[in-house]
Structure 1
Amino acid sequence: MERILTFGAAQEVLKKVASLATQEFSLLWGFKKELTRLRESLSITQAMLRDAEQSQVWSEAVELWVKKLEDIAHDADDVLDEYGYEVLRRKVELRNQMKKKVLDFFSRHNPIAFRVQMAHKIKNINASLEKLNKMAASIGLVARSTLIADPTSSCDIGLLNSRETVSCFVQDEMFIVGRDEVASEIVTTLINSSNTQESSLSVMAVVGMGGLGKTTLAKKVYHDSEIDRHFNKKIWICVSTNFEVKTILSMILEQLDEKKTGMQGKEAILKNLQEDLKGKRYLLVLDDVWNEDSHKWNDLMSCLASVNDTQGSNILITSRSVTVASTVQALHRRDLGRLADDECWLILKDKAFPDGSASLTEDQERMAREIAKKCAGVPLVAKVLGNMMRCKMGDGWQSILNNQIWGSQEGEHRILSVLRLSFDELKSASLKRCFAYCSMFIKGFRISKSDLIHLWMAHGLLQCPTPNQSNLEMEDVGNEYFNVLLENSFFQDVEVSSI
């Protein structure tokens, strides 16, 4: 993600500088030649940057080159801002009826001194860019041209790993394949263990690598009708990497009674939990647990056990780590397996052909099923590849099949490679920058759609509409960007207001 942000920052500054450098200013006497060299150098440097971005090898030398480029681009930006200010100042001066007839030669606004100063500054920037471009050649970067497509295309795709899960099903999770049997087994185990235990809380863990659908499976269990009939209360908490006992207890209390949000003391929280849970059998889902500190876990269990008269209650956790399952002393553990190729094909088909696949030719279906095999039984990969296939036809599918990432990558490394591939397929640099911007939020951070769009606008990340979309406001462009990212798996666990 740091790599994406580095490219995004460099590209954004270069784009602005290139735009200013192509304008025809009226005060070019003395440095027009240097400004022309700046335009040419920027064009070459941008092409080098594209090659660095698309490079499969991210070395320290490339990283250093990109950061140096960003520094130089900022210097160029400052120089051209200074020039733009001088142009504006002179326009205002010409309109001023009280303007002086003669400028003091030694004034800081003296035109000759200004031109000499500007020529010197731009000359230094050109020298730095030329040196940087020579350095690019020494580390194997070449000038790579590219075409930037319509940023509002609905065929962009991506991911967002860090997110706060919610108990309700989001649109992307409506189509669940191959998990009915395991969900039924988990429901039965939870109910049976609840009926047989005396007083202690029973813990069950669902374990599996990222992308297998642990959270979706937990939601399926959470909303099962048998669970609703058996448990008086259901509580869903997304724990993630920040395992703080008082925070978890406070979140539990907030779900039971939203009026009790923000209570500070652990003693007060436990007293209120006693009031809200006494005499009730509850199911607590702790999703995405990473904590391997047994002291923290024992502290949480001790607090929950202090809430009296909750016999038959259960805790269901999801985690990528077997060590976590051991830490929580899970009475039952379910290792989530991969899907069959045919099941991946169903997920892929649902994403690639939302309007149905009846028009597929025999060759197309054969190729699509071959791509489904590349998913290696991972639902997330099937979703991502299905979205990519929706945007590509014919040779585009063949390029997916022939991609070098299938050579040696396995497990979560393969997932990351596929997700990187989906990011690389984005045709809009502006959309990439909007996605990269989201990485500034900490894991589990919640933000409204309108706030995010306004942040994109404030940072100049939204690309101006194309000529045939000139009637669109920036909010409209931002809304379209958001929808593209949401529809193609950049954003997950979105809560939709019913208002």
Structure 2
Amino acid sequence: MEEWFGGPIMEKLISTGFEYLKRQARWQTGMKEELERLRENYPKIQAVVLASSQAQITDKNSDLNKWLWQLRDAIDEADDVLDEFEYMKHENQLNENKEQTKLRSAMSSMKKGIVKIGKRALQIDPLLKKLEEVVKKLDRVSADVGNFLHLLESTKQEQQEQLIDLYKTRETGSLPKNDLIGRVKEKEFVMQWLRKPSNENETLSTSTTSYGSNISLLSIVGHGGMGKTTLLQHVYEDEITREFNLKMWVCVSNNFDVKKVIRDMLECLKMKKPDLESLESLQRSLKSEVIAKKFLLVLDDIWEESEEQDKSKWENVLAPLTYGSLGSKILTTTRMDSVALMIAKVINKKKETFRLEGLEEDACLHLLNNHAFANVENPDVHHPKLRSIAVEIVKKVHGSPLAAKVMGGVLNSNLNERHWMKVLNSDIGNGEMGRNDIFPI
């Protein structure tokens, strides 16, 4: 129901009410308390309306549903009164313009002024009465917002769980969707690693014929939203990877299934889904594809559930790959050092990781501005104040590229200084969670 919520209408009603009271005699302050309460309750009302819509809980909560309809009715009435105020303001302006063209005597002007003040003092103005009524009605409805504030915490938890499930089950491809901003050194490190020939010292065993001695492994480790996938997408598409006979990109995600991972490898190599069903047939097919060939494999977004169970699964996945040629490389992305260690053990390697930290602030600002001012010409000229606000906002994302993109999208939805200041003054990104995770942002 949030699409009907007239947030700007409430803001305008509050500001109009206070402005109108200033023009009344000092003793006419009947609306002041109601307006103060409305101003205090406004952010709570916004939060409850948004939460109720996103969580789709109105059907389960009849009291909330009833309150939302009462709120909607009061806001509709407020909108009508504000329309009348706009019309009155327009009429008064026209009359003032006409009066300016006429010559009136000082006495006549004084007389009219006295009549005007008298009408205000006696509350003859019918619009003032309407304004008071609609403010009181909205105040009565908004007073009940406290009964529904408890929904916010449960809704927040539910949404975070949904985001986590979505993030864990996402699917990534090898083609980059965005430019690689602020990661020149990181990309060069990975490319230098790809150029490096296989080193026998990487293996845990001194035997050159030890299991997995033909494969080098590098794990990119970092918090969610740090751009691990984007970095490897740009590496995967670089010309340097042409030196490999075979290339495979597999998104593992949270629902790790041995057969699916091997099928995805075979689909990358054959450009079609294999018809094989058993693990044995899938392993043999992959072995026949990679045997005596130098391959590059990217295993993106690996999670860990049970170390022993996952280790057994990875042994089945990686067994066919040990038949590849010397110089074959595996790149993985994960949030967890334990995952990097486990896969290294499976192919008898020393753990080699590259930790991806947050972007430098200037690079993060560049990324945020790219999204905040998307399709905007000359933002330096047309939106200089917004550019300066962005400098402060970017500190809230703590170097996270994904957070910068998300925040940029939020800002781009409304290129208004007031909206941007609300984002700046929000508490998003102020805790430890903000530094370690994309979900709060």
- Give TM-score, length-normalised by structure 1: 0.51
Q: Give the equivalent residue in structure 2 for 1:399.
A: 422
Q: Aligned partners of 1:278, 1:406: CA distance in 2, in Å? A: 49
Answer 1 or 2: which has greater helix percent. Answer: 2
In the other structure, the counterpart of 1:325 is 340
SS at match of 2:410: helix
Secondary structure (helix, strand or coil) at the match of 2:301 reads strand
Q: Residue in 2 aligned with 1:186?
A: 190
Write the letter of the residue equivalent to 2:362: D
Matched, 1:310 2:319: no
Shift of residue 54, structure 1, vs aligned partner: 3.5
Residue type of the partner of 1:352?
A: A
- In structure 1, runs of 5+ residues without a counterpart are 1-6, 12-47, 74-133, 143-157, 419-499
Aligned pair partner of 1:339 in 347, 352, 359: 359
| Structure of higher CA gyration radius | 2
Q: Which AA in structure 2 matches 1:67?
A: K
Q: 1:47-86 CA deviation, whole Å, 9 max, x = no partner? A: x997634469x9xxx998862439999xxxxxxxxxxxxx
The residue type equivalent to 2:341 in the other structure is S
Q: Aligned partners of 2:234, 2:378: CA distance in 1, in Å?
A: 25
Give how far 1:179 is off: 0.9
Q: Are 2:398 and 1:380 aligned?
A: no
Aligned to 2:18: none
1-structure distance, mates of 2:173, 2:387: 35
Distance 1:52 1:220 in 2: 42
Indicate the SS of the match to 1:382: helix
Is 2:191 the partner of 1:169? no
Tell me how many residue pairs correspond in the alignment. 291
Offset, 1:262 = 3.3
Residue 259 (structure 2) aligns with: 246
TM superposition shift of 1:351 = 1.0
**What SS does the aligned partner of 1:317 have?**
strand
Of 230, 237, 247 in structure 2, the residue corresponding to residue 234 of structure 1 is 247
User: Structure 2: any 5+ residue segments left out of the alignment?
Assistant: 6-43, 67-140, 150-162, 203-207, 345-349
Higher relative contact order (CA 8 A, sep 6+): 1
1:172-216 Cα shifts (integer Å, max 9, x gaps): x1x221111111111212331536575343221111111111110
Displacement, 1:411? 3.4
Match of residue 225, structure 1, among 239, 244, 260: 239
What are the equivalent positions in structure 2 for 1:388-427 lying under 5 Å apart? 388-392=410-414, 393-408=416-431, 410-411=433-434, 415-418=438-441
Change (3 A) 1:69 1:322: farther
Q: Is 2:283 the counterpart of 1:270?
A: yes
Instruction: Give the structure 1 partner of residue 389 of structure 2.
Output: 367
Change (3 A) 1:49 1:402: closer
- The one-letter code of the counterpart of 1:225 is E
| Conservation of the 8 A alpha-carbon contact between 1:279 and 1:309 | yes
8 Å CA contact retained: 1:294, 1:328: no
SS of residue paired to 1:194 = coil
After superposition, the C-alpha distances for 1:381-437 in whole angstroms (9 at most, x for unaligned) are 11112122222221111111111335435436663222xxxxxxxxxxxxxxxxxxx
Q: Distance in 2 between matches of 1:71 and 1:262?
A: 53
CA contact (8 A) 1:372 1:382 kept: yes
Give the 3 Å change call, closer, same or farther, for CA 306–187 of structure 1 in structure 2. Answer: same
Distance 1:306 1:362, change over 3 A: closer
Question: The residue matched to 1:67 in structure 2 has which SS?
Answer: coil
1:244: Cα distance to partner? Answer: 1.8
Counterparts in 2 of 1:315 and 1:349: CA distance versus 1, 3 Å: same
Judging changes above 3 Å, is the alpha-carbon distance between structure 1 residues 398 and 261 closer, same or farther for their aligned structure 2 residues? same
The 1:406/1:179 distance shift into structure 2, 3 A limit, reads closer
Q: Percent identity?
A: 30
| Per-residue deviation, 1:314 | 1.6
Distance 1:306 1:238, change over 3 A: closer
In structure 2, what residue type is equivalent to 1:256? L
Residue 69 of structure 1 pairs with residue 62 of structure 2: yes
Preserved CA contact (<8 Å) 2:254 2:303: yes
Offset at residue 374 of structure 1 (A): 1.9
Whole-Å separation in 2 of the counterparts to 1:406 and 1:215: 22
* TM, length-normalised to structure 2: 0.58
**In structure 1, the residue corresponding to 2:333 is in which secondary structure?**
strand
Closer, same or farther in 2 for the Cα pair 1:338/1:50, shift >3 Å?
A: closer
